[in-house]
Structure 1
Amino acid sequence: MDHSLAGTSPGATPPNTALQGPDLQEAALERPPVRTGPRDPGDAWVEGEHGRFWGRFGAAGVLAYDPGKGVLLQHRAAWSHNGGTWGLPGGALHEGEDAVAGALREAYEEAAVPSASVSVLFTSVLDLGYWSYTTVVLLVTDAFDPVISDPESIELQWVPLAEVATKELHPGFAASWPALRPKMLDLTAGRP
């Protein structure tokens, strides 16, 4: 999960994920998650000359593209880092975890993105030296409905390409979208 929030205690886990729909959304706005189990060593902040970022071993997220629906965006919970903005399902990588595997794991945990229903088009890496973020761009090969499966999302939405830039985007995604979009469209041109 992407626990990119200030003030997360070292032992925090998500609240009861049995909550669904509006109840889960309301719980996500009220408080940050409370963890009861062990924490992955990758769940930590790193700091350097470019700022503070979540993910000791870097982070990764999924840009899922369905030509008939658009791209899957996550409206981030208010308590999260850059809360209230729209971004990609993703989060901190585990130690030794491949960025594609980590992005798919996070997208499944946060939005129920089924790895069997997508194929990797390409990856794009922002490498700051002490921290990196990998965007894994996926083509949806078998339509699916995303599901809010943890308190990090207020909403999940398929957004038509022409409307993506009209959303209040997470700053990192806003900076990368202008380069990701044309490459994604070029690689999917002529596909059914």
Structure 2
Amino acid sequence: MATQEIHGDGWAVGADGVRRWGTLGAAGLFLTTAEDGVTLLLVQHRAMWTNFGGTWGIPGGAIDTGETAVEAALRETMEETGVDPSDVTTGEAVVTARAPLDHVLRRVPLTEAELPLADAVTSAVAGGATLFDAVRGHRLTHPETGYPLVATLQGDLCWEVPDDTVPEWTYTTVLCTADHPLELNPTAESADLAWCPLDEVAELNLLPPFREALPGLIARLGS
């Protein structure tokens, strides 16, 4: 079995039992602009299949191997909204959530020799099933280790391998500005995207950790 992980995608399982996305932590972009004297915040209505699906938050995601939190926030925002990092001025990066970990679930790609172990999944995909449905339907595990087979958004098949050497998970929020409301192009991870007046954001059905962090982030805008 290969030992490297693919990106930082994967669950971090807290000492409290809660799963948080990103084996290396996660980051998001708190992107504001102004129009007609009103401060606007870029908000994302999360697709139902995502973690906390149906809530509103900011674009972001798992930090990749070798990335800084700022780089990850900009990359994830571009992937999820179409916002070009060159149109954004980055500011302060703030850790807005942290949690001690029990373990992370790293995603290790199948070796060439292991590919036949996933034949049931690849056959189902060839028959018209989506990769995620095929993986969920067959629930395959490694015959020696018992590690479950999972699929990534990039279309890779991996073993989900526990690792208890990572002590803490963090979420970093990067404060940024744009000169004007930028054009938004939602992808599969976004049910909707909007420029919301900052003083109306709290009225949305917010992702719980974002709701907790919001007052402090707003306060930093005026500091």
TM-score, scaled to structure 2: 0.63
Match for 2:67 among 83, 94, 97? 97
Look up the SS of the partner of 1:78 in the other structure.
coil
What amino acid does structure 2 have at the position aligned with 1:128?
Answer: A
Match for 2:92 among 110, 116, 122? 122
Q: Which position in structure 2 is the counterpart of 1:10? A: none
Q: Which position in structure 2 is the counterpart of 1:59? A: 26
Look up the SS of the partner of 1:67 in the other structure.
strand
Q: What RMSD in Å do the two structures reach over aligned CA positions? A: 1.5
Structure in which a larger fraction of residues adopt strand? 2
Mapped pair 1:40 → 2:10: no
Q: Distance in 1 between matches of 2:179 and 2:87?
A: 5
Q: Kindly, what percent of the aligned residue pairs are identical? A: 39
Mapped pair 1:132 → 2:204: no
Mapped pair 1:158 → 2:195: yes
User: Which is greater in Rg?
Assistant: 2
Moved >4 Å (runs of 4+): none
Superposed CA deviations along residues 129-180 of structure 1, whole A, max 9, x for unmatched, are 42111111101135411111x2110100000011100000001110100100
Unaligned runs of 5+ in 1: 1-38, 188-192
* Deviates further, 156-165 or 125-134: 125-134
Q: CA deviation at 1:89?
A: 0.6
Q: Is the CA contact 2:34–2:181 (under 8 Å) kept in the aligned structure 1?
A: no
* Deviates further, 44-53 or 78-87: 44-53
Q: Tell me how many residue pairs correspond in the alignment.
A: 147
Q: Is the CA contact 1:118–1:142 (under 8 Å) kept in the aligned structure 2?
A: no
Mapped pair 1:169 → 2:139: no
Look up the SS of the partner of 2:174 in the other structure.
strand
Q: Distance in 1 between matches of 2:193 and 2:174?
A: 18
Look up the SS of the partner of 1:131 in the other structure.
strand
Q: CA deviation at 1:121?
A: 2.2
Mapped pair 1:71 → 2:71: no
Q: Distance in 1 between matches of 2:94 and 2:68?
A: 14
Unaligned runs of 5+ in 2: 101-167
Q: Which position in structure 1 is the counterpart of 2:146? A: none
